[in-house]
Structure 1
Amino acid sequence: MKRILFPTDFSEAANNAFVYALHLAKSINASVYVLHVYELPIYSSMYAGQLDYVQKLYQDLELDKFDNYKDKVPQLHNIAKQYDLDDIEISFIFEKGLFQDVIKTVIKRDAIDMIVMGTTGLNSANGTLIGSNTVNLIRSVSQPVLSVPRLAKFEGIKSIGFTTLFRDADKEPLTELLKIADFFQAQVKLLHVQTKENESMPQLLEEWKAIFNHERLSFHIINSKDVESTALQFIIDENIDFLAVVKRNRNFFDRLFNSSMSQKLAYHSTIPVLVIREGA
């Protein structure tokens, strides 16, 4: 990965994720593209026939947005300098439009490899761990998306968690994850929560071990009917630095971001979640 896209609203949570993104970029020799997206409102019909007035409203609003953006950019430079990360190549992008549309345009135009986004933790308004923008983005792009909680601190990557249902579609993401692990000299700890007895599991496990005969990979099969709590306890017990989830595993994905597990993770809001697209 050589190019990291970092969308920001300049909030405290975003600024924390910015530091994480810079540390990550330094570790993998990547550049960071900082993107701020703004959307102009649609004025109602009460201004019909007042085209000049509406145009001035838009011009004034755009100027105000740009002035705010110009004020924030030096703050990010200062944050990078504060953490001795000002040697990272950083590009700043200011774009008008719908959030997801702009993201997709930038990804294609600038050949983005990965997206890093800040999350605020538990959102009391809807009971979810991360905002709708992040969830919708994860579902609509093919690049890996790393969601960084507001209390997360980059202390290197030593232990990576990976949840799987042992589907063929999980093999390609695991292959990519092992490449990341090699780069960081980290361990990948594969977790499968077995909710019911499966007689074919021993054979399936041996097949996967044969395919992924990798010194950095360990397999953890846990019998439990409570997938969320088991995964959370696994994260804690194994000192996981970030949890990797395959998008194809929609049931777990939805529970991860929209259930009581969100609340539990919020109390341990230091663990980033990497969402990887499913394989073929």
Structure 2
Amino acid sequence: MKKILFPTDFSEVATNAFVHALEFAKIVQGELILLHSYDLPVFDEQFFHENFKEIYDSLELLQFDLFKDEIPKLRTIADGHHLGKIKMTHRLMGGDLTSNIKKAIQEDEIDFVVMGTSGATDWDAFFVGSKSGSVIMGIDVPMLCIPLGAKHKKIKTIGYRTRFKDEDKIALKKVLNIAKKTNANVKCLYVKTQYSDISKDTIEKWEKEFEQEPIAFFVVTGDEIKDIVLDFVLEKKIDVLTMLTYKRGVFADIFKPRFAVNNTPNFEIPILEIPVD
């Protein structure tokens, strides 16, 4: 059974993402591990030496009470979506969010992370300014990021940005496994810029290899990668966009200034991040 880590602070953003996490667990036949991570205050022991432990103990108790009160609400949400049979366990951890996620991934042998993001209408904030943006580059398992405006719906089309590299093929097969479980189609986009080094022969070999799969390949020529990707999402009615995480700078650059333009539509869809070694 796949293990899915769901970090939550019990906010509106996290609660919205929880429904996606439940549905994703159903798709991959997995269980959820709910993680509530809270910051630990930094005190100068010179002034708080005697009460140091008491302060931390009281903070932990306060967070435990919050955790205890919120868990039944999440179970009610699960029951309301007829997903109450999804197995759920819980972790309460003090300290840095990213560090706690990494620790939980290792200790619980996590396969996926599902996490809400507050960058609801601005993908630059989505990947750079939100909590999930700070986590993306720090973990080595696939991560499904859910913006607040992304209401759950049946996944019919999964978008996948490829560079026709070996690592892309490995990730694409993972995406195919998910697509088959939800009867979705996969639409792959290759942006051919002036610096592209992929031959027509390579593309044809990929098409031949995957011709029996529910995949369609699209090659678009241009140097405005971010605009091409976003137009692709709109035109092909993508429900989930999948991308490989190479390094933060390259990834974040795809989602910049366009959103300051008037009448720009919102792109509130889940993003599945697959890390590359």
Q: Which of 51, 54, 67 does residue 53 from structure 1 map onto? A: 51
**Root mean square deviation of aligned Cα:** 2.5
Contact 1:129/1:263, CA 8 A, preserved across alignment: no
**2: CA distance between counterparts of 1:199 and 1:138?**
28
Structure 1 residues 198 and 28: alpha-carbon distance in aligned structure 2, compared to 1, 3 A threshold: closer
**2: CA distance between counterparts of 1:262 and 1:86?**
38
**Which residue does 1:129 correspond to in 2?**
126
Q: How does 1:209-248 map to 2 (within 5 A)?
A: 209-248=207-246
**Which residue does 1:26 correspond to in 2?**
26
**Unaligned stretches of 5+ residues in structure 2:** none
- Structure 2 counterpart of 1:114, one-letter code: F
Contact 2:225/2:254, CA 8 A, preserved across alignment: no
**1: CA distance between counterparts of 2:97 and 2:224?**
35
Structure 1 residues 122 and 7: alpha-carbon distance in aligned structure 2, compared to 1, 3 A threshold: same
The Cα of 1:2 is off from its aligned counterpart by 1.5
The Cα of 1:263 is off from its aligned counterpart by 6.0
Contact 2:31/2:88, CA 8 A, preserved across alignment: yes
Aligned partner of residue 5 in structure 2, secondary structure: strand
**Which residue does 1:142 correspond to in 2?**
140
Structure 1 residues 128 and 97: alpha-carbon distance in aligned structure 2, compared to 1, 3 A threshold: same
State the identity as a percent: 35
Q: Which of 90, 93, 99 does residue 92 from structure 1 map onto? A: 90
**2: CA distance between counterparts of 1:52 and 1:276?**
47
Flag as ranges the 4+ runs of structure 1 deviating above 6 A. none
| Cα-to-partner distance string for 1:218-272 (whole Å, 9 max, x where unaligned) | 1100112211111111111111110000112755512245x225668x9424311
| Cα-to-partner distance string for 1:10-62 (whole Å, 9 max, x where unaligned) | 11011000011111212332111110011211112561xx5322222222222
The aligned length equals 274
The alignment's TM-score, normalised by the length of structure 2, stands at 0.89
**2: CA distance between counterparts of 1:146 and 1:176?**
13
**Which residue does 1:41 correspond to in 2?**
41
**2: CA distance between counterparts of 1:214 and 1:261?**
37
**Unaligned stretches of 5+ residues in structure 1:** none
